[in-house]
Amino acid sequence: MVMETLTNITNRLREGRFPNEQAISQGIVLPLLQELGWDIWDTNVVWPEFQTGEGRVDFALCHPRSKPTVFIEVKQPGGAESGVRQALEYAFHTGVPFIVLTDGKTWSFYLPAERGSYEDRRVYMLDLFERDLDQAVETLQKYLSRTNVESGKALESARKEYRSRNRRLVARDAIPESWKELVEKGDEMLFELIGDAVESKVGVRPEENDIIAFLVDKLNKPAMTTTHSPIAMPVKVEETSTRHGTLVLKGKQLQYSNAKEAMVIVLRELAQADLSFLQRCSQRSEFSGRKRRYIAQSVVELYPDRPDLRGCNERLPDGWYVATNLNNQLKKSIIKAAAEVAGLAYGSDIAVEF
């Protein structure tokens, strides 16, 4: 069943079991295509490494046999959108009306022949970590089941979705909740934009905790405009100051003097107990920002655009590094994600407050 296969795949994705394109192709894409009715053993139907005039596509779903109707491009973990332009060009020049880009976790469905920017031509993006499994199964069946592709229903649904005026309304209504999540999770890019703007205006960069306090205050104040205002939603104010304390890690009590030290202790302890732990962490989206990684094997990857910050790191086992120029909420989210990677329960197996 699609549900059972997708459940297994999602669990393994959370554990970082698919480190590269080949693993994603063999362990995710092909099993799902098989469950969706495709004969993955018939290479004239599911054609691997399909050669176009511009290059090669990872998979072509063909109907009739040997005639591609859907291209599927597989990317490295976290890189699902890195090949959008290339994939759209392949499809456009080959006359294929529908393409899919995936890194296993996210699945983006595009109509290459439609008007607009690359983003405009994306019909839908499915994130297996953000959507419930019923919705994920429904989406994959709608756009990729063999029955719907061969009957033309998949393409028809995509075009209808593209033209639907409701797409704009759905996106607009999601703005308040998305804004709330950015603030609560301590989104790195949001803080960088505000920090850059303040520094340009007065010559001094504000502390991230001051930015957090300002944004949380805005979230808690009633909006004076429309009900769609992104600052109208209440949010619990969490303590973001740095303080010493005791963390619990698998029954051990460990002292820390600040949030940075607490994060580093957790990562080091878990890495020493499991040699694959940091590698698996590095494959998870929670350990990366939009422009940099929080855990990497070089300090350049931690701060690719900020050489002045490359000293803000701590060394971890086996040549790994963790960035320390992070706000406290982000440090806490890293600890929570680390607990999940290690198969531990945050709040009991790992407990820390700062």
- Same domain for 249 and 233: no
Give the β-pairing of 68-74 and 98-102: parallel
Q: What is the rounded distance in angstroms from the CA atom of residue 335 to the CA atom of residue 296?
A: 16
Question: Which domain does 249 fall in, by range?
Answer: 245-351
Count of structural domains, the chain: 3
**Residues of the chain falling short of pLDDT 70:** 165-169, 184-189, 200, 221-243
Q: Residue 300 has what pLDDT?
A: 92
What secondary structure letter does DSSP report for 80?
T
Q: Residue 222 has what pLDDT?
A: 52
23: Cβ contacts below 8 Å, ≥ 6 apart: 17
Strand partners, 346: 350
Quick count: other Cβ atoms within 10 Å of Cβ 106? 20
- Same domain for 251 and 215: no
Q: Which domain-ending residue is among 188, 221, 238?
A: 238
| Segment 116-174, tens digit of pLDDT | 778 888 899 999 988 889 999 999 999 999 999 999 999 999 998 888 755 666 777 77
Q: What is the rounded distance in angstroms from the CA atom of residue 163 to the CA atom of residue 141?
A: 20
Report whether 338 contacts 281 (CB < 8 A): yes
What secondary structure letter does DSSP report for 256?
E
Give the residue from 72, 35, 65 showing the smallest Cα distance to 50: 72
What secondary structure letter does DSSP report for 224?
S
- Same domain for 196 and 152: no
Return phi, psi of residue 278, to 5°: -70, -35
Q: Residue 55 has what pLDDT?
A: 87
- Same domain for 228 and 112: no
- 294-330: b (≥16 Cβ within 10 Å) or e: bbbbebebbbeeeeeebebbbebeeebbbbbbbbbbb
- Same domain for 185 and 144: no
Looking at residue 253, which CATH number applies to its domain? 1.20.1380.10
Q: Which domain-ending residue is among 164, 186, 220?
A: 164
- Same domain for 126 and 21: yes
- Same domain for 226 and 82: no
Q: What is the rounded distance in angstroms from the CA atom of residue 223 to the CA atom of residue 254?
A: 43
Q: What is the rounded distance in angstroms from the CA atom of residue 247 to the CA atom of residue 253?
A: 6
Q: Residue 230 has what pLDDT?
A: 36
- Same domain for 34 and 83: yes
Phi-psi region of 319 (alpha: psi -120 to 50; beta: other; left: phi over 0): left
DSSP reduced 3-state for 221: coil
Question: In which order are the strands placed within the sheet that holds 98-102?
Answer: 46-51, 56-62, 68-74, 98-102, 106-110, 122-127
- Same domain for 141 and 36: yes
Q: Where are the alpha helices (DSSP H) in the chain?
A: 2-14, 21-24, 30-35, 84-94, 133-144, 146-151, 153-163, 166-173, 175-185, 188-202, 208-220, 259-273, 277-282, 299-302, 328-341
Q: Residue 188 has what pLDDT?
A: 67
Whole-angstrom Cα Rg for the chain: 23
- Same domain for 255 and 230: no
pTM for the whole structure: 0.54
- Same domain for 196 and 127: no
- CA 126, 104, 190, 187 dihedral sign is positive
Q: Residue 276 has what pLDDT?
A: 93
Q: Which domain-ending residue is among 164, 190, 221?
A: 164
Looking at residue 84, which CATH number applies to its domain? 3.90.1570.30
| Segment 258-300, tens digit of pLDDT | 889 999 999 999 999 998 999 999 988 889 887 789 999 999 9
Strand partners, 122: 110
- 26-38: b (≥16 Cβ within 10 Å) or e: ebbbbbbbbbbeb
- Same domain for 155 and 95: yes
